[in-house]
Amino acid sequence: MCLVSIHPQAMLSEPSSTSKSRQRWHWSIFFSVALATFECASSFTQQPNSATSISYRHRHPPSTQSRSTAEPAASSTTHLFMMGEMEEIECDVAIVGGGPAGCTCALYTSRADLSTVILDKNPAVGALAITSHIANYPGVDRSMSGADLLDQMKTQAIQYGTRVERAQVFMIEIKDDDGDNPYNKIVYTPDYLVKARALVLATGAMGRSLPPLPGEEKYLGSGVSYCATCDGAFYRDSEVAVYGATGEAIEEALFLTKFASTVHWITPIDVVEQLEKKRSMANVEFNEWFDPDVLEDLLDKPNVKHWNKVRMLSVEGDTTGVTGVKVKKISQDEEEIIPVEGAFIYGAGGGSKPITDFVQGAVELDETGGVIVNADMETSKKGVFAIGDIRNTPYKQVVVAAADGCIAAMSIEKFLKGRKIIKVDWVHR
Ligand SMILES: Cc1cc2nc3c(=O)[nH]c(=O)nc-3n(C[C@H](O)[C@H](O)[C@H](O)COP(=O)(O)OP(=O)(O)OC[C@H]3O[C@@H](n4cnc5c(N)ncnc54)[C@H](O)[C@@H]3O)c2cc1C
């Protein structure tokens, strides 16, 4: 019996160790167990389209999302089963990132009857999601917000059968396809292990372009994290720092309040003033970088200590990992160390660097950090595609990201169905 997956949170029961050592222990075990799980699960591997030959612990419908009854469901090649709290998903197309590029690609692949799963870490933090109004997307009224346009794109993809899950991808792995293993693109998230025949990278370019803080890279993985949803549970009853004033930082800090004894939220800008301004000018439309209700929610939490107009200078630590963060009030000279065991860093307003940290050398990047693709949007690895801002194209526009998604989807359809030519998504009558 080799179904032995352990969810990260299950590892919290490790006795008598600090949360720092727990975290390291957790990750090394998690990675090896995740990989072992994949190997074990592979012993159940079947030929594509032969769902009946597999025995799963639990079966689930391909999608729990709403679906138009007039449209086809996700194809039968989506197989799911639960292993402990880690769910494994097998599908034709896995898409990392649910921005306009990812959603458009999913719309087309789902319409082509390819089972499609989008994994998106947070629907509110992508470039389109934070755009207040879209004045230049053809056919769309200029009063529409980026978030609303994105919602419509996602809904449309779901109506054709796409499954959308909120999950931060932290690693991908491309195994050899020797003919027996078509589900050879593996995507790792804290809650899902996704095996796909084609993989699409669509995480955009909102990565931080700022240089890392002293200590940030040194303690990455032993106290420094960029993902509260992935690592938050390791800091139960510990003190943590969250640095940043973006919508993402606010949501992540709120998430951490469920676990940490104290969340030190450190913001270099005057967030309180911004909130008051927003409240007093209720009818004025801002290019909103935060949701005032979520911000108020965070500030109301009894275990949040807000360090307003304070800059983080460095991450401090020793051989056990992070021990604190050094901060300084803006316009004052005095520095102070806040003792914490975890530092979640979200920068101070996003950047324009392609988000490829989870790629870890799996595909080739250019000198600017963008993923290199050919005219079919295919990367240096067969069956792996990259679309939208992750390419670091100078044409960073919604319509371009959507077009990339369409091209990739049509290329994927050709690739997976073994066609010689591209099949268009319309019939000329
Ligand atoms: C402030 C601003 C205003 C803009 N205004 C316009 C405009 O008016 N018109 C226009 O055409 N263009 C505009 N743009 C550009 C446009 O928004 C982008 O070109 C477009 O959104 C890129 O789409 P994308 O799908 O590649 O990336 P994004 O829209 O950034 O979406 C990427 C998605 O990937 C997800 N993600 C990231 N990392 C992970 C991970 N590790 N695991 C899982 N998911 C992940 C994110 O949650 C996000 O949902 C603007 C951009 C900005 C920043």
Q: Is 275 a member of any domain? A: yes
Specify whether 56 is located in the same domain as 133: no
Q: Is 424 a member of any domain? A: no
Tokens read off for 278: 């927003």
pTM, two decimals, is 0.74
Specify whether 196 is located in the same domain as 283: no
On the CB side of 321, CA atoms within 13 Å amount to 19
Best mean pLDDT range from 22-26, 127-131, 193-197: 193-197
Q: Is 321 a member of any domain? A: yes
Rounded CA gap, 22 and 297, in Å? Answer: 30
Active-site annotation holds for 270: no
Rounded CA gap, 33 and 27, in Å? Answer: 10
244 C-beta closer than 6 A to ligand 1: no
Specify whether 337 is located in the same domain as 313: yes
Across 186-195, 241-250, 382-391, least confident range: 241-250
Specify whether 44 is located in the same domain as 96: no
Final residue belonging to a domain, choices 293, 321, 347? 347
Best mean pLDDT range from 7-21, 223-237, 256-270: 256-270
On the CB side of 10, CA atoms within 13 Å amount to 13
Query: What's the gap in Å between 9 CA and the centre of ligand 1?
Result: 30
Q: Is 213 a member of any domain? A: no
Q: Is 425 a member of any domain? A: no
Query: What's the gap in Å between 102 CA and the centre of ligand 1?
Result: 10
Cβ count within 10 A of residue 83: 20
Rounded CA gap, 80 and 280, in Å? Answer: 49
User: Checking phi first, is residue 36 left (phi over 0); if not, alpha (psi -120 to 50) or beta?
Assistant: alpha
Q: What's the mean pLDDT in 389-402? A: 95
* Share of residues in the chain with pLDDT > 90 (%): 57
Specify whether 229 is located in the same domain as 176: no
Query: What is the CATH number for 129?
Result: 3.50.50.60
Query: What's the gap in Å between 1 CA and the centre of ligand 1?
Result: 43
99 C-beta closer than 6 A to ligand 1: yes
Specify whether 310 is located in the same domain as 375: no
Cβ count within 10 A of residue 41: 22
Looking up tokens 């003033």 gives: 273
Instruction: Look up residue 341 and give its DSSP letter.
Output: S
Final residue belonging to a domain, choices 347, 369, 398? 347
Q: Which of 104, 131, 352, 353 to mutate to test the pocket of ligand 1 (most atoms within 8 A of CB)?
A: 131
Active-site annotation holds for 91: no
Note the pLDDT of residue 294. 86
Q: Is 361 a member of any domain? A: yes
Per the structure, the count of domains in the chain is 3
Q: Is 319 a member of any domain? A: yes
104 C-beta closer than 6 A to ligand 1: no
192 C-beta closer than 6 A to ligand 1: no
Contact 417, 75 (CB under 8 A): no
Final residue belonging to a domain, choices 314, 347, 380? 347
Specify whether 159 is located in the same domain as 266: no
User: Checking phi first, is residue 71 left (phi over 0); if not, alpha (psi -120 to 50) or beta?
Assistant: beta
Q: What's the mean pLDDT in 229-258? A: 91
Boundaries of domain holding 335: 224-347
Rounded CA gap, 53 and 43, in Å? Answer: 12
User: Checking phi first, is residue 97 left (phi over 0); if not, alpha (psi -120 to 50) or beta?
Assistant: left
Spell out the alpha helix ranges (H) of 240-291: 247-256, 271-280
Query: What's the gap in Å between 129 CA and the centre of ligand 1?
Result: 7
Rounded CA gap, 281 and 289, in Å? Answer: 15
Specify whether 14 is located in the same domain as 127: no
Note the pLDDT of residue 174. 96
Specify whether 250 is located in the same domain as 335: yes
Looking up tokens 């931060």 gives: 168
| Ligand 1: nearest atom to the Cα of 122 | 47
Strand order in the sheet with 321-329: 310-318, 321-329, 335-339
